[in-house]
Structure formats: structure tokens, C-alpha cells
Chain A
Amino acid sequence: MIQFDLLRMGDSSKISIADDLRVDLELDKIIAVASNGDKLISETWSNMLLLRDSSEDVMRYRQEAVRDALANRDVIIKMYSIARDTIERVKRDVFILLLRTDDPPAVARETSRGIRILLDGLEEMLTLLKSSPSFSSTAFRGFVSSFTANINDQFISSARGVASIFDTSRENITFSVKIGSSNYLKDPVLLVPREGDSFLSRILSLGKEYTYKLDPRDEAGPRIIYDIKKWVLHRSATVLLRSFNSMMKFFEDLMRQLSFYVGVINMSDFFARIGLPQTYPEVNPGVFAFKDLHCLSLATSTSSKPIPSTLSINASDSFAILITGANRGGKTTFLKAIGQALLLARAGIFVPAESFTIPTPGAVYTHFLRGEDRALSYGKFEEEVKRFRGFANFLRRGDFVLMDESFSSTNPIEASVVAENVVSALVDSGVNVAYVTFLQDFIYNFTRRYGERAVLLVPERLKSGERTFRLVRGSLQPGYAMDLWVKLSSNPSKEQH
């Protein structure tokens, strides 16, 4: 068996709210750039970005392989195309549908043909790997050594020989058989055909062989014989089918795993084209920090460098980033940039930043405001609560929850109470939160209670009043509304405006 694992996905399943994440964080835009129209790459990326589990080890393993793939990009692309072409040829030349029928002779014939195509593919791959520069990463070195340990010229030639026995022309099978209960035939053993049946041996066998000739008018006879062939061949057909499936699976697995790295190559090209910085994320417990982080999905839509953000939090404990302030200030973009970078980081891919450090490679969950309808309704609120509850069971220490205007479908007074309940509970449980919110009660109470662990960000406004679309640390000013009251009540004409 050829063993390789270029991705180290382990047995991690998709995250429970994969579909929400995909929409909320605009992952399709990112995946489209990586896949460049290749459906398989798109699938693989989507799986990789949405895995429930990751770890620092896994991140490093993949980062190393990603660097290796970028350094040997031509070999990677060639390997990918050998796998893809081989699979395509099998699909073109083999009646795959016949493999699902109850017709062992047909299965044997078609699989043996498929096996010969797959052997050609293995031979081509062997030639490429023999002459290629050596890889440096554990992932790719492991693949090459297992492949060459299992596949050699001798295997390829003997496998070709065996597969050819089941050629279309070989309808005349030989088998031994016993007689069982009811005088049914039993225990058939398909025998290797004798190639050298000489004239002499045929003469010698005269009288030692009983011959039954089919009557030319016997219509049932050939059907019965075909049924007996099915019976005799079904074990061999099963073995052939399994070998065929397993060889196909090798190519399919290889192609799928390689597709991740082909996507990485495409993504790297995109970064270079736009001029995005490319950094490999670090894990450092106690730090959540990034410099000039760009929102990748925004970059893909505009094909230009968006305004970057920078942040540094001393995160010896879990934390909450609260983002508030005027609309169109880049708050949601900021949230998306963080979410996307976290997902890329966990997958072992570089991120669009000068530097990016996370305390843990925890999973990312999103709870974004849905729909355009801003009317308050308890029905909608209940739906929000249910949606949150839906993933809350899966949360673990070190995970990230990104919230965009959560609980805004009810009035801010009671929503604040809920928000405070929820966010306090998350942070106290070791889950990190980033929350775009207008809930003043909540922000005020929470920042007071959590001190350093609560980071409040507001859109930057220059003295001139101009917006920069950057977020900066800010503070709430309670009493501001009172001030405004006083101000407006002393100048009632302004209000009437």
C-alpha cells in the first residue's frame, strides 16, 4: 500500500456551521481565486478551510509543505496533471457503469482494461519522481519514498501480464468444480489458462475429455453458460474490481491532496499580482497580534489592496474585541479579515499581512446579522438565539466567535442583557470573541468589568472629521447622551431642523 498524507486532515469533520462561515466570511471569493475554475481545488480548499480541528503541529506540517510546493511548483503541477489525466482516461475508456452491474465477466473485462491504464499512469509518475529534484518537506518526501518503495518496473510488468489474461478475447475460461448437495456444482476455482496447449497434448487428451456440443438451435444454452461464467468469475472479478478501485483511489487521493497545493500556487500568484504581503502565521500563547492585515475577500473583489488593519493584544487570557461606531467605517470588513486570516492560518496557508500571530489555532464560528429587515421581532430574536445555541455546544477553549450585530433584533436594553450574558460566558470559558455591536449598555458594562481583556475599537476619525476606514482603540464616554441632551435642550432650534 502506498502511504502518504500531504494534508494531515486527520479525522476532523467539517465545522458544524460550515455553511454560515462560508457566507459570512465570503469564502467563496477566496476559494474561487485559489481554484481558478478547477472544481476539485475548490472542494479541497473548502474542506480545508472549514475543518473543525487544527493544531500548531498540523499548521507547521502544512506550512512546510506549502513552502516546498511553491519551491517545486513545476513538479507539483506535473504530478497533478498525471493524476488528473490518468483518471480522465479511465473514465473515458472504461465502461464504469458496467462495474456496477451483476455481470462478473463484464466487470473483469472492464476493470482489467482500467487497470492497464492506471498502470500506465503509475509508470509515468515513477519516471517523473525518479528524475525530479528532491523535496524538502516531510509531507512530499514521505510520499516519494512510499511510492518508490511500492512501485517499480517489475510490479508494472507483472501486473500488466495478469490484467491481460482477462482480455476481451479470453471468453473461454477453465475451472475446476465439485458436486454438492442436490448435485449442484460447487466450489469453482478459476484456473490460469494453459498457453502451450500443443497439438500433441490435445491428441493425448482424446478420450479423456467428455465433450458436449451445443445444438445451434439451443437458445437457452449460451445464456446458461454465461450464467455459469458469471458464477465462476465473480471472485476474480471482485478481486480485480477491488484492485482497480484501490488504484483509482490512490490517484484520486493523490489528486485531491495535490489540488490543495495547486490552489496554494494559484493563491501565491494572486498575492504577487496584487502586491499583498505574504506571511506564515505564528502561534504564540499570550499574543493576538497582526500588522497590516488585509481583508482577502475584499482584495479579490476589487483586485486591489484594501486598507489594512493592525492590532496587538496581550492575550494571556481569552479576550473580547468589541467594535462599534458609525456605519461604513470598515467594521464588518475588519471582522471578515480576522476570520479569513484565522481560517487560512489553521489550514497552514500564508495570510495577507506583514505579520500574524495567534494564541491558538482554535476554530472559528460566526454569528452575523441576517437579512436586511431591521424591524424588531421576537420571532427573529428567537431565531437568533436558536442559531447561537446551535453551535454553542461545539465551542471549545481557544476557539473564536465572530459576532456581527448579534441580538439586534430586539430592543437594545434587553439585547444588552443577553449579549452580556453570552459574551461574559464565552470569555470566562476561554473562548475569544470579536463583536461588532451598537449595544451601549453592554459595551459599557462589559469593558468596565473585563478591563484589559476587553478591547474596544472604533473607526478612526481624523481631526478634520475625515474617515480613514481604520479602527483604533477607543473608549466609551458615558454621559455623552446627557451632554447632548443638555446641549440640544439649550438650543432647541437645532433639534427642530
Chain B
Amino acid sequence: MEYRSILGERGSMVGDDVAKDLRILELVDDILGRNRDEFLRELYLEPLSREETAVFRLMVFQDLMTNDVYKMVEGFVERIRESERLIQLKEEAYDQHKVGLHLDAALTYIDAVESFYNGLRAIGPRSEGLKQFLNYLEQVINSPYFRSMKERAREAKEARDRIIIKVRFVEDGVKVSKYNGDGEDLTALVERTFSIFKDGNGEEVKWIKSTGDMTHIHAAILEGAFRFYREEYETLRRFMEDFPTVIDEGVRSFAREVEFYLTYLRYMRRIMERGYTFSIPSFTRDGSMHVKGFYNLLLVKAGKAVVSNDIDTDGARRIFVITGMNSGGKTTFAISLGQLAYLSTLGLPVPAVEARLPFFTSIMTAFPTEEDPRESLSRLEHDVVRALNIIKRANDTTLVIANELFSTTTSDEGFQLSKLFLSELSNRRSYCLFITFIPKVASLEFTISLVAMPSPEDPEKPSYRIIPGPPPKEYMAVRIAAKHQLLYDDLRRVVK
């Protein structure tokens, strides 16, 4: 039986615009933490094209979100790595060390595989991915090679444990002999003598070595030891010769690929420690979308106040027009939902209390760009080009996030362009979050109007809540002008 990847299959690289606008690169950096593994980074930047693969991965997550399973997999991966590390060390070690490193690589590997297999089987994973791997491991363990390697490794270790030697450093070298147990422990003698001056919580003398543990001096001491323990040495040497390969290839691949899950779970734990929730998304087939209590991961990471929001549609209307006060959290709302949709297409748990949404086969963004003076196109022209490109590729599993598109023209023209753009998307049954300052856009009959609400305590401050409702009737700038008596009637009274 061949090893089948725990990742299901690979996706394809996310587009630059989306990665930038939705701040995916920052998100992936946070997920990776200190880990700078390029293989993993690529995985987190590859949305899947098939819903089944996403579900396959989410099922594995479901298993791994049980602490027992997580600990088991994590421990397994660590020990496989340790075994790999020992084998690597062997390459450059002295012969006297090689036999030991090889033995310990094998011991570590054998124990890792067996205890993982037994432990996981006892728990009984539910996901296809882990079940598949469990079957694979069973074959590995029952293979004649593995079984005899295990028996011989045990013998070799017992042989090594029998060795005990006496070492003496003299002026010009080292003297080694078999130790017959006739010496007196000097440290114990010191301890006994000074027992009345025993210091309960005394300090520890530290020691830092500037040299390694596998040098020619160590090799010489081992050589001395092996002179007096010939038979034991032979047992070690023959084990290495007879079992040159320690780690199975499939096991090695699993250990590498499963990091995709472990790394994300560690990231989730960091976020959850601050009181936030993740949930396994489920993919709707009827076009509806219900996401409850979603929030912005980057804000949580930055330690800022985070407000969660909901979004809902039964699938009849799919165009959300978001209006409302400045700095009211509109962009954050859109980016958060965009990231959530993105994560779901990688088969990852998402930052929300509950998430039922379509499996988006493409996510596209149109955020304001800096005007490039070398470009001949104006920003408005850019917007139009981008809008048309989006329409060209949009279908009923597309999510479009557009931020202040068509804002560099009159609001009338802006409205007209928006209407054209959004009705095209609506006709294609695409999903869109459309942030705009033009209130009229929200009155288009195929849209759902969302509005950024002011704080109930202080109407000049945002609440960061985005809720369904018509655009605000009163503008903040007018309110402020009134406060400073700069409205029409004020000025009429002052200016005589």
C-alpha cells in the first residue's frame, strides 16, 4: 500500500492582489510564527479548487481539535524529527559514535511509530485522512524488516548499557580502563563532610562547553571502552550494518505534511487564549451564507479591541453594500470576511462562532491603489478596468470584495458605474461586499444594505458594529459643524 497524502491534494497559488488586499501574507506570517518553513508557507498560500479536498482537511482538523489526538500527533512528529536529526549527525561523526547514533535513531523511530499507532488506534480517528494513515502504519509495523530491526535494537541497547569505564586525565592524555566499582564517590564525601553547612536552596554551578560531545577525545574514550567491551561493540556495529534504513518514506512524508495542521492549531490556540473562537466551516449548496460572530485575526494579534460581526443571506440577494461613518470598521469587516472565506478554501477552521458559507472557487478584490504617475490610466480608469476583469471571471462561487470603487468621480457617475458593476455581478449570481460612500447604491433592489453604526454612548465614536439597515440620515461632519455652530442658521445669526 502506498502512502496517501494527509493533505489530500495541493491547491494553486493565490493571486497577488488578493494576498495584498486581504493581508493574507501578514496572516500567514502570524500563522507560521517563528517557523520559517517555505514548504508550509506555500501550502497556506494555495487555495483549493475542490470542495471535497477542503472537507477532507477539515475532517482531519476535527480529529486534531481533540487534545489527545493533537498531543499524540505532535509528539509523533517531534520524535520522527529527532530520529532524522540523529541520522544526519551520523554523517559526520566518528565511527565510535556512528554505531550509537544509528541505534538511537532506530530506537526513537521504533518507539514513535509503535506508540503512535497504538495510541491513535485506541482513540479511533474519524477522519479519512488519519484512518488512511493508521492503515498504512499497521503495514509498516507488521513488516518483517521493522520487526527484526526492533528485536536487534533492543539487544544492541542492552549491550551498550553494560559498559562502565574508569577515565583518568593525565598530563598528556587520557587513560581508560574497565571500572570494577572500587572507587569512592568524591562528591558524596564532600557532601557528607560539610553536611552541617548544607545550603537548602543553594545555587547550581553552571558549565558551558565550548566544544562538542562527539569529538576525537570522546571517540578516544569510547575506543578505550570498546577495547574492554569487544562483544558489546560488535553487537552495535552489526546492528548498523544489517539495518541501514531506519525511517520509512511514507512516515517521513506524513511527519512533514501534518505540520500544516499542527502549525495552524498552535496558531488557533494562541488566538483562543485571548477568548476568541474558531469553528469548522460548513459549505452550503443553496447559495445561503450565515456567518456569526466573525472577527479580525490581525487585530486580535495586535492586541486591539476587537468587535465581532454577523453576515446573513438566504442566497436570493448576494450583493452587500456597506455604508456609514468614517473609520466605522467597514474595511475591517470586509477584510475579515474575505480572510474567513479564504481560510475556508484552504480547508482551515475559521475565526467565527459559526460559519456556513458557499465554497468559493475564487475570491477577488478591488481596493484603492496609489495613483502611479508613470501610468497613463487614471484611477477611475483603473477602477473600470479592474471591475470589468472581475466581471469576466465571476461566477456563482465567486466572492468579490470592493472598497471605494468609482470614488474619484461625481457621486452620480459613481452610482451609475456601481450599478452597472453590481448588477452584472448579481446576474452572475456572484457574492460581493461593496464599500461605498454613495448612499444611493444601497437602494438598488438586488442589494442588501449594511451600515456601520455609531457607538450608543457617544454618537461621535464608532461601535465597529456593521448591521443591516438603511444608510444613516445624519452625517457626522454635519453634526460636528453644528456643535461648533457653523451650520447655516448659526452663520446667519453671526454674520450680520
A interface residues with partner B (beta carbon < 8 Å):
1-2, 102-104, 107, 115, 150-151, 155, 158-159, 162, 165, 171-179, 181-185, 189-193, 205, 208-214, 220-221, 223-225, 227-231, 234-243, 245-247, 249-250
Q: Which residues of B contact A209 (CB under 8 A)?
A: 175-177
Q: How far is the CA of A249 from the CA of B200 in the complex (A)?
A: 12
Q: Which residues of A contact B100 (CB under 8 A)?
A: 179, 181-184
Given contacts A227-B210, A249-B199, contact A182 B89 (CB under 8 A): yes
A239 touches B167 (CB 8 A): no
A210 touches B198 (CB 8 A): no
Given contacts A220-B211, A245-B203, contact A191 B184 (CB under 8 A): yes
Q: How far is the CA of A214 from the CA of B217 in the complex (A)?
A: 9
A183 touches B222 (CB 8 A): yes
Which of the residues B99, B169, B171 comes within 8 Å of A229, measured between beta carbons?
A: B169
A103 touches B207 (CB 8 A): yes
A234 touches B207 (CB 8 A): yes
Interface core residue of A165, A179, A247 (most chain B CB under 10 Å): A179
Q: How far is the CA of A210 from the CA of B173 in the complex (A)?
A: 11
Q: Which residues of A contact B174 (CB under 8 A)?
A: 211-212, 225
Q: How far is the CA of A230 from the CA of B207 in the complex (A)?
A: 6
B190 touches A240 (CB 8 A): yes
Q: Which residues of A contact B99 (CB under 8 A)?
A: 183
Given contacts A175-B167, A176-B183, contact A208 B178 (CB under 8 A): yes
Q: Which residues of A contact B181 (CB under 8 A)?
A: 176
Q: How far is the CA of A244 from the CA of B167 in the complex (A)?
A: 28
Given contacts A181-B100, A208-B177, A241-B202, contact A191 B193 (CB under 8 A): no
A209, closest chain B residue (CB) = B177
Q: How far is the CA of A231 from the CA of B161 in the complex (A)?
A: 20
Q: Which residues of B contact A183 (CB under 8 A)?
A: 96-97, 99-101, 160, 214, 222
A190 touches B199 (CB 8 A): no
Can you list 16 A-B contacts with CB-CB less than 8 angstroms, sorted by A residue number?
A1-B198, A151-B196, A173-B169, A175-B167, A178-B163, A179-B161, A183-B100, A183-B160, A190-B186, A190-B187, A191-B166, A210-B223, A210-B224, A211-B175, A220-B211, A224-B215
Given contacts A192-B183, A228-B218, A247-B197, 15 further A-B contacts (CB under 8 A): A1-B196, A104-B207, A174-B183, A178-B165, A179-B161, A182-B89, A210-B175, A212-B220, A220-B215, A224-B216, A229-B169, A234-B207, A237-B205, A242-B199, A250-B197
B168 at the interface (CB under 8 A from A): yes
Given contacts A182-B97, A191-B184, A212-B220, contact A172 B173 (CB under 8 A): no
Closest Cβ of chain A to B21, distance in Å, is: 50
B202 touches A238 (CB 8 A): yes
B207 touches A213 (CB 8 A): no
A205 touches B209 (CB 8 A): no
B181, closest chain A residue (CB) = A176
Interface core residue of A171, A209, A212 (most chain B CB under 10 Å): A212
Q: How far is the CA of A242 from the CA of B86 in the complex (A)?
A: 37
Q: How far is the CA of A175 from the CA of B107 in the complex (A)?
A: 28
B225 at the interface (CB under 8 A from A): yes
B interface residues with partner A (beta carbon < 8 Å):
86, 89, 96-97, 99-101, 104, 107, 160-161, 163-179, 181, 183-187, 189-191, 193-194, 196-199, 202-211, 213-218, 220-225, 227-228
Interface core residue of A1, A209, A230 (most chain B CB under 10 Å): A209
A223 touches B205 (CB 8 A): no
Given contacts A221-B216, A227-B211, contact A102 B203 (CB under 8 A): no
A191 touches B223 (CB 8 A): no
Q: Which residues of B contact A192 (CB under 8 A)?
A: 183-186, 189
B185 touches A191 (CB 8 A): yes
Closest Cβ of chain A to B409, distance in Å, is: 58
Q: How far is the CA of A250 from the CA of B172 in the complex (A)?
A: 42
B203 touches A177 (CB 8 A): no
Q: How far is the CA of A439 from the CA of B164 in the complex (A)?
A: 88
6 nearest A-B pairs in the assembled complex, by CB-CB distance: A183-B100, A242-B202, A191-B183, A210-B224, A243-B194, A212-B220
A179 touches B169 (CB 8 A): no
Q: How far is the CA of A158 from the CA of B196 in the complex (A)?
A: 13
Closest Cβ of chain B to A201, distance in Å, is: 12
Q: Which residues of B contact A246 (CB under 8 A)?
A: 194, 197-199, 202
Q: Which residues of A contact B227 (CB under 8 A)?
A: 210
A159 touches B187 (CB 8 A): no
A239 touches B218 (CB 8 A): no
Closest Cβ of chain B to A403, distance in Å, is: 43
Given contacts A208-B177, A212-B220, A245-B199, contact A239 B194 (CB under 8 A): yes
